[in-house]
Structure 1
């Protein structure tokens, strides 16, 4: 979910209990240094990663998209 640009940190926290700082720490550990830098560059200032920064006109509901569970596994 953290890699996906449109999933807000708030949604990640609701689903996993991890704060934005926890997610950043995880991504720093899990990704190669160059990949982490690219991810951080994408996330910095990205309005879709923070619900409070989103425009009210944005019709995207990340809570529905962030459900990665499969129905028939």
Structure 2
């Protein structure tokens, strides 16, 4: 499926967010974890990609099955500030 630059930008933003699990990206955009990794490798600079991989590897919040079941949302309610 061909995605626009806006979709790529949002997927990258969601992938960087600590509280957004890969499953949420898959539900919204149809990309599983491996596809997100490929997109990130292609779209980010090499150093940024390495930082991101180190950051999300093994992080419980990035995998729905590893998260505390009491967490029902993919982002912090104060994450998006409205003016």
Interval containing the TM-score (normalised by the shorter chain)? 0.7 to 0.9
> Which runs of no fewer than 5 residues in structure 1 stay unpaired?
69-73
Q: How high is the TM-score relative to the length of structure 1?
A: 0.78
Distance in 1, Cα, partners of 2:31 & 2:75: 15
Higher RCO (C-alpha under 8 Å, 6+ residues apart): 1
Deviation track 1:12-70 (CA, whole Å, cap 9, x = no partner) reads 0000000100000000011000000000000001000001101234x3510786xx9xx
**Over aligned residue pairs, what C-alpha RMSD do you find?**
2.1
List, as ranges, runs of 4+ consecutive aligned residues in structure 1 with deviation greater than 6 Å.
none
Residue 62 (structure 1) aligned with residue 70 (structure 2): no
Report the CA distance shift for 1:14/1:63 in structure 2 as closer, same or farther (over 3 A): farther
- Tell me by how many angstroms 1:6 deviates: 1.1
- Length, aligned pairs only: 65
1:52 to 56, 59, 65: 65
> Which runs of no fewer than 5 residues in structure 2 stay unpaired?
1-13
Q: Say which SS state the counterpart of residue 37 (structure 2) adopts.
A: helix
